[in-house]
Amino acid sequence: MGNKTFPLTLHLLLTLVWVFVALYMIFQYAPEETTMGEVQRIFYIHVSSAWTAFLACFLVFVGSVGYLWKRAPFADDLAQASGEVGLVFCTCVLVTGPLWAKPVWGIWWTWDARLTSTFVLWLLYIAYLMLRSYVLNPGRAEVLAAVAGIIGFVDVPIVYMSIRWWRTQHPQPVIAGGEGSGLDPAMRITLLVTWGAFLCLFSYLLRQRLWLAEGRREARKLRQGLALQTSKE
């Protein structure tokens, strides 16, 4: 699991420290937003989860392309692991969003372009993981999953651009948005530190999930070897 270069325990410790720094900045350093008040602090974990879920989706795409191109088992492991960890972050986006929307918009949910495309992304993650577990033929499962991983990635630019392309209930972008958009410098640095903490957490979870994928492949090989021996006897 690459423990020799950067031990997992050290990775966990770094993640915890980073998370505590992020929490301190969210609740002590970042100023309170004037119109929404305290509830706006959901923004930091909501946006960080969303960006991390996008990254996970990109890794699924890269792993899928890599597997179809080189048939490298690691590429498939990366896609599978990123898909599962990405689903966790995407779930956080879909839960924290309505918890922020209710006190601010007065509704939990609306089927606008941003919310709907994010919900579709979440469904695509689930479909991708279900496809992996239900197709039992090992070689076929990896190829089908890789194709699904590549097709599913099409939704990511749609989610990202939806608030630029269509009029939505969801607010316009505050980072890399148009004229008049922007974020208070203290809020921006807090967001970046929080996203850093989420990336550290993502990589920590991904390493463990990768180890599971590699271990399962090793177990499958060992079982096949033993079955072959038994059949010869």
Q: Using CB under 8 A as the criterion, which residues of the chain lie in contact with other proteins when the complex forms?
A: 27, 37-39, 41-42, 45-46, 49, 85, 88, 91-92, 95-96, 99-100, 102-103, 201, 205, 208-209, 211-212, 215-216, 218-219, 222-223, 225-226, 229, 233
Q: Which residues contact 57 (CB under 8 A, 6 or more apart)?
A: 82, 86, 121, 125, 152, 153, 155, 156
CB of 185 to other proteins, least distance (A): 22
CB of 82 to other proteins, least distance (A): 14
Q: Which residues contact 183 (CB under 8 A, 6 or more apart)?
A: 174, 175, 191
∠ CA 95-98-100, nearest 5°, is 105
89: which strand partners?
none
For residue 7 the two structure tokens come to 């031990």
- Return the number of the residue (25 or 85) whose C-beta is nearest other proteins: 85
Asked if 55 contacts 220 with a C-beta cutoff of 8 angstroms, the reply is no
- Return the number of the residue (8 or 192) whose C-beta is nearest other proteins: 8
- Return the number of the residue (2 or 37) whose C-beta is nearest other proteins: 37
- Return the number of the residue (140 or 223) whose C-beta is nearest other proteins: 223
CB of 38 to other proteins, least distance (A): 5
33: which strand partners?
37
CB of 198 to other proteins, least distance (A): 10
